[in-house]
Structure 1
Amino acid sequence: MKVHELSWSIKGTVIIDGIVLHAPHGKITGLLGPNGSGKTTLLRAVARLARADRGAVHLDGSDLARLRRRDLARRLAVVEQHAGTDLDVSVLDVVLLGRTPYRSALQSDSEQDRRLAFEALAQVNMAEFASRRWNTLSGGEKQRVHLARALTQRPALLVLDEPTNHLDIAHALSLLALVQRAGLTTFAALHDLNLAAMYCDHLVVLREGRVVAGGAPHDVLTPELLMDVFDVRADVGRHPETGRPLLTFHPPGVVVPS
């Protein structure tokens, strides 16, 4: 995916300004930035949930703005922060929503639809929950089901908006590991910098609606950038098992011996 000069404003206030970036094919690109930096707005503009003032988003050579909604839904799937869907339906019914772009309004679920739904549930370790009622699930279970729904769409691009925001650490690690194993081109806004370092192949950092850094985690997550963008002092080491960056933050006001 490539984003070219994407800008969006509301009532004269610029939220994202001239965004240029790329998300490598088949890799996880993490979108980082402090609160109010424009991460969610950028994701919504990429997914055409908000109309950009100017710029374009290309996926496999196609301008997403020129695609019909049905065609867009076959190419792109979104998992938002909050797992909605409050209706009294089964888990399988929720996952089958991912097949909506592939059938007409009056067409019922096909055998292929159900097979793909069960395959996606198995991918997220929720196959045994297929007949459970949606409203009996925990927050972490709902996020996994929404990921299964997105996978059932068979998208070329997976867009995730803070998917671990309300999850405990075990569920957060599990969810991102599932995304990693899926092998899709993924564009994900993340709040936890260490999770981003652990699971993302490429990082993009926003500040005040503009891209200020991009590249591999070990190139982007430097003490200088963390101070400049996030206003935190941190040491950046290497994870003993993965070799990826491992961030240790200094509490505010604590003097670190030289």
Structure 2
Amino acid sequence: MTSTPHDAGSRDAGHTPARAGHSPIRHGLDVHDVSWSVKGTVIVDGIELTAPATKITGLLGPNGSGKTTLLRAVARLAAPDRGVVHLDGVDLARLRRRDLAQRLAVVEQHAGTDHDVTVLDVVLLGRTPYRSALQGDSSDDRALARQALAQVDMLDFAERRWSTLSGGEKQRVHLARAFTQQPALLVLDEPTNHLDIAHALSLMSLVRRSGLTTFAALHDLNLAATFCDHLVVLDRGRVRASGTPHEVLTPQLLRDVYEVDADVGVHPRTGRPLLTFHPPDEVLPDTAEPWIPGASATPETVARGRS
């Protein structure tokens, strides 16, 4: 992991400053009866959910369950067929794009940039909703951008060309851009995609400390169990379950929605659910020795070799 001066912003790391004129009252995200179809095929159907204010809500579900489609509807990247989305009591569909961008920041799974710009330039895009068309970056804008880069461990890359970054590095830069935007709601589509485990844990910790209302689609169920306060599970475009990680992540739900067998325990350090998945079609005898994978090894030959 690249060494960066975290201490310079660690006391404020992840804590988004309040903006002048913005109400401190937070009601969270409310989605009412949102549906969306493509060429007659229903992708999300009558979605009702709440993402509590200042908490992380994880959006779970297998591939094709409608997670990305729902995120796009919430972020107003596309208008749903019907339904309404409220953020802190405000109907997002009634906001101008500029006002929406001051309240909501999105990090998409495959976010990109077409221009050969520096990393700092990409992060400064987060200040666009606060500037006039002819206004340049202020010293405050650049200070916010550098602080955000330090928070995601990318400050040393500020002057690097965007095109030279890896997929994981780009993902962290886009999160820095979202923090620089100073939103009330953070919408994340697979934010840990392309990240190694150390940066995935660091990123989710940072999001948790931010105090932002966060709505994040996640594939890693243990990561969701560890960092999310509230979970919503989609199955075939509908809400199958919602609640705390302990309420939602049950063996029965995992079997019904994900078609996997799993044990759900309690993590000894965090007290959060800890999922252990069973390999399909592979059940070892109770008396067998642990299987050591090898070119020609099988559970039986390993057990015989140790007897």
| TM-score computed with the length of structure 2 as normaliser | 0.81
Deviation at 1:171, TM superposition (A): 2.3
Q: 1:185 pairs with 213, 217, 224, which one?
A: 213
| Larger gyration radius, structure 1 or structure 2 | 2
Could you tell me whether the CA contact under 8 Å between 1:33 and 1:205 is conserved in 2?
yes
Greater shift in the superposed pair: 231-240 or 125-134: 125-134
* Structure 1 position 15 matched with structure 2 position 43: yes
The secondary structure found in structure 2 opposite 1:228 is helix
* Structure 1 position 155 matched with structure 2 position 183: yes
Q: CA RMSD in A?
A: 1.4
Measured against aligned partners, the alpha-carbon deviations of 1:191-237 in whole angstroms (never above 9, x if no partner) come to 11111111111000000100010000011000000001100000001
Q: 2:149 pairs with 121, 126, 129, which one?
A: 121
Deviation at 1:241, TM superposition (A): 1.1
Greater shift in the superposed pair: 119-128 or 139-148: 119-128
Q: 1:225 pairs with 233, 236, 253, which one?
A: 253
Deviation at 1:128, TM superposition (A): 2.3
Which residue of structure 2 aligns with residue 41 of structure 1? 69
Could you tell me whether the CA contact under 8 Å between 1:232 and 1:249 is conserved in 2?
yes
| Unmatched tracts of structure 2, length 5 or more | 1-28, 287-307
Which residue of structure 2 aligns with residue 255 of structure 1? 283
Alignment size in residue pairs: 258
Which residue of structure 2 aligns with residue 66 of structure 1? 94
Calculate percent identity across the aligned residue pairs.
79
Could you tell me whether the CA contact under 8 Å between 2:168 and 2:193 is conserved in 1?
no
Which residue of structure 2 aligns with residue 137 of structure 1? 165
Inter-partner Cα distance in structure 1 for 2:54 and 2:216: 13
Inter-partner Cα distance in structure 1 for 2:151 and 2:220: 24
Inter-partner Cα distance in structure 2 for 1:9 and 1:136: 38
Inter-partner Cα distance in structure 2 for 1:29 and 1:121: 24
Measured against aligned partners, the alpha-carbon deviations of 1:81-106 in whole angstroms (never above 9, x if no partner) come to 12412422111100000001111111
Which residue of structure 1 aligns with residue 6 of structure 2? none
Inter-partner Cα distance in structure 1 for 2:167 and 2:39: 35
Deviation at 1:165, TM superposition (A): 2.1
The secondary structure found in structure 2 opposite 1:227 is helix
| Unmatched tracts of structure 1, length 5 or more | none
Which residue of structure 2 aligns with residue 97 of structure 1? 125
Deviation at 1:114, TM superposition (A): 1.1
Inter-partner Cα distance in structure 1 for 2:285 and 2:69: 41
Measured against aligned partners, the alpha-carbon deviations of 1:114-159 in whole angstroms (never above 9, x if no partner) come to 1211121122222222122222222222111110100011000000
Which residue of structure 2 aligns with residue 111 of structure 1? 139
Which residue of structure 1 aligns with residue 271 of structure 2? 243
The secondary structure found in structure 2 opposite 1:158 is strand
